[in-house]
Chains A and B, each alone.
Chain A
Amino acid sequence: MATTDTFPVPEATAAGHAPLLEVDNLQVEFRTRDGVAKAVNGVSYSVEEGETLAVLGESGSGKSVTAQAIMGILDSPPGFVTGGAVRFRGQDLLSLPEDERRAYRGRSISMIFQDALSALNPVFTVGWQIGEMFRVHEGLSKKDGRARAMDLMEQVRIPAARERVDDYPHQFSGGMRQRIMIAMAIALDPDVLIADEPTTALDVTVQAQIMDLLRDLQRERKMGLILITHDLGVVADVADKISVMYAGRIMEKAQVGDIYAAPAHPYTKGLLESIPRVDLKGQDLAAIKGLPPSLTRIPPGCEFNPRCPYVQPICLEKRPPLLDVVPGRSSACHFAQEVLDGSL
């Protein structure tokens, strides 16, 4: 068993090449009037070409902040990266000066956000905004940029794309706007796409369409996809592996199939049990009691101990490191084995 918090990279190390994108022991803090909040407290994960990593967690778990740190778009102040590395094909992005770092944004690593209406500039047409990627990064003319924008809009399956290229964001529906954001993000064929809660603000049927679109695009372009979400249902269809985050740390890592069958952490277990199920209709909903902690006042020992149904004295004293439970799965719990076996 490894005794560090880093995700033991399987085939990649064996093959000897660096993962496409690797987050290594990242630390991010927020300095506010009410104290210093450790929003990201030693997070490590990675993603390969063609692979989908789902980062799962409640609000405040640090999943979005990690993504923003990867992109380098953290609000600073009050946020500061205080440790760790973010490696793209082996190159540590955090150590680069800003203008070199900027070269990766949009071109190698792209990001889409939750609320497409506020994420798009209201006073420019969608064609202009998509075309901007080509005009700025590849020096295309306005006309060519607009033509490429039309192509992209068709690729993301916007009906009547050629007529709507000069429309404004507020003239589209929520699902269409999200597609426009996706179009902007994949315009330059990035290697990694980070999707921060892309479907949270959408209707369920539209959600499914967007996830299908993302999956198809990923397959065509062999992108690495980091899907940030709090919705377990979305994860099951799309992701290959999953990292569960809580209070700024990763609590469990596994392949998706394994985790649904048998979770190895009480938090994951609680999340799975709290999904309403048709066959349990009429019974009490099994929610995890309590609320996530304020990040300026994280409890000592295991962060989850105030809410854990299996809490023991050691949980209040010693913080459990993220360790392998079985090869390929790790969990940050003193009793991970017992949770996995079901003996707790």
Chain B
Amino acid sequence: MSLRSYVIARLLLTIPMIMLLLTFVFLVVRVLPGDPASLHFEKQVNPQMLLEFKRQLGLDKPIEIQYVEYLVGLLRGDFGKSMQDFSPVSQQIFSAFPATLELAIFSTIIMVLVGVVLGVQASRSYNSVQDHSVRIFGIGSYAIPVFFLGEVMIMIFAIYLHLFPAGDRIYPGMVPTGLTLGGLHWSTGLYTIDSILEGNPSKFAMSLRYLFLPSLTLGTVLCGIFIRLTRGNMLETLQLDFVTAARARGLKERTVVYGYALRNAFLPILTMMGLQFAALLAGAVLTETTFSWPGLGRYLVDRISFRDYTAIQGVVVFFGILVAIVSLAVDIIYAYLDPRIRF
């Protein structure tokens, strides 16, 4: 099967999946509780006010029309209106998204780095104390609720040791501004990149400082699967003839392990990164809340306390679409790299 036909087939599969997801979310938010608008008001509310409220949000129309408007709106990038102030949810989403993206990126880096390095070390000392400890760590780290680990990190590193900040994304007033050339302004919303664009190393260092604890927390909790994957793969590969033959030629152990054996594990690790993305987002929700990180996750939790159901719907839909796109991208990259599909 050529690359092109694979991509097309994959795309065709993504569309019904997204549709299913959108419909599912719609059913949960608009149909399940009966009337999200009444639910929003805890106490009794003037029926006149309720009607006006519903009208503003488009919740007074029959359910089928609501569904169509919902889908059409999404195509235009409209994620609904907040129940709190009728402002477009998409605005909030797109302003909070870069923070979550940055957290996700750095958490992934830690997750993969820690996971792979530990996995390799464990595989090299098969059945030793080191091997067993790493394996236990891999299983155990996932058993720790990410927000508990976050709190512990804050306790130790921020409160007792004063090494890292306990929350937020950057010191007030130190937001990197990106690059301004002539009349054009380039900024990504990712503080690390923006500070580089701005040419301000102190802001760069600062943004890293603030990123460190949250990424470490989220990365640690999710690295277990990478440890297991790498270790398993390496154990298999290290048994293969060409690895023994390479050693027999006197190649350095480091070359053998990383150059020969790890190459094999590379593709599965890549796929796993894609698969873990959803877990990453879920974890981000809790991590952002713990570290007061101004991302989508914290926005979602925020909206819960305000009973802002339409906003919740918008965020959840956004998450769904995001995950679908990312897994599509990962699958395509994988297909591109896997020689079996190419040739």
A, B co-complexed: no
The interface of chain B, by Cβ under 8 A from chain A, is none
The interface of chain A, by Cβ under 8 A from chain B, is none
